[in-house]
Structure 1
């Protein structure tokens, strides 16, 4: 009887556990900077998803790709995610760091995620035009090149339809308002939904 009880408890625990885990590696754009955390797009994503999908938001305001690459291995081991969303690079751009350095860091993160068995979704960022056309182009191209190299899906610009609308940006001109968070999620959702569907199909086959 005791053995049966242990089995039933273990079964109940596995039944209640999330079948899919998402890990968000981002900066202030995903850490709800300047707004209530529950209003951020990552929290809105959690609310949109079913209970069998767990969202781990490991985003930190001010994070660079170098910082993300340093933190990621431990997070992969801790959470064993099925999908990793990489939303990093904005702070590299604001600091004028070399795009090749950013690319190397993101490459490390993609490779580490794939070795851990996780799918990767890249969320692209753009820098303001005052950084110069050559730098802006090289910066933006990093995301497309990595998407092609590693065959990972890409959202070309996380703030598409938002960044140039002053009414949707905070006074600093960098961070979106609470009203813009639904739009950010809508930019991410179609591509993420595709990954989630594939993940659900893989789980069903097991």
Structure 2
């Protein structure tokens, strides 16, 4: 009986520590899924290592899927929130919407829904902004970038204005396809996110 009680107490202590530490849920596309790289090389894996090194006990769950759009993320999010009960949700979506020329208003609607769902579930939200190459035309690229600014302001959520700052289009930072960041760029991606992310932990 005493051994059973001791075992139960230890299990409860472990569960309490995990609950206290919290979960960081990353919902993104191929950039966060580390397409073309070993998963361990991706910025999300590097994020877990940095948090461990700096004494944070949070667990990072990478729910990113290559090719995902804001509509796909919005449809997947309720189940992810229910399963992982995150303390913080990082949303890195929209690039595929833009590359497919989808309306910025649709992107804003989907992302706003994801922010609202996350907040209702008690999670903080960090939004990672994206920009499109200039060949998509100034009118469209400006409207696309403005979606993130408007959403962050309206919903009062922290924003990294351009997740690929110092990476997109920079020689040596991209894979051969010119779309996905190389292994050499993953630390820079994390550095772009970390100053805004750290105060939320």
TM (normalized to structure 2)? 0.94
The answer (yes or no) to whether the contact 2:175–2:182 under 8 Å persists in 1 is yes
Counterpart secondary structure, 1:122: strand
Runs of 4+ in 1 over 3 A off after TM superposition: 1-4
The answer (yes or no) to whether the contact 1:21–1:81 under 8 Å persists in 2 is yes
The answer (yes or no) to whether the contact 1:166–1:173 under 8 Å persists in 2 is no
- 1:200 match: none
Deviates more, 1:56-65 or 1:13-22: 13-22
Following the alignment from structure 2 to structure 1, what is the Cα–Cα distance between the partners of residues 188 and 11?
A: 40
Stretches of structure 1 lacking an aligned partner (at least 5 in a row): 197-206
Q: Give deviations 1:104-150, integer Å, cap 9, x for gaps.
A: 00010000000000000000010110000000000000000000000
- 1:49 match: 51
How far 1:15 moved relative to its partner? 4.9
Q: CA RMSD in A?
A: 1.3
How far 1:164 moved relative to its partner? 2.3
Following the alignment from structure 1 to structure 2, what is the Cα–Cα distance between the partners of residues 53 and 158?
A: 22
Matched, 1:33 2:38: no
- 1:4 match: 5
TM (normalized to structure 1)? 0.91
How far 1:12 moved relative to its partner? 3.2
Counterpart secondary structure, 1:17: helix
User: How many corresponding residue pairs?
Assistant: 196
- 2:152 match: 147
How far 1:16 moved relative to its partner? 4.6
Q: Give deviations 1:20-76, integer Å, cap 9, x for gaps.
A: 210000000100011111000000001111362100000000000000000000000
Stretches of structure 2 lacking an aligned partner (at least 5 in a row): none
Matched, 1:66 2:71: yes
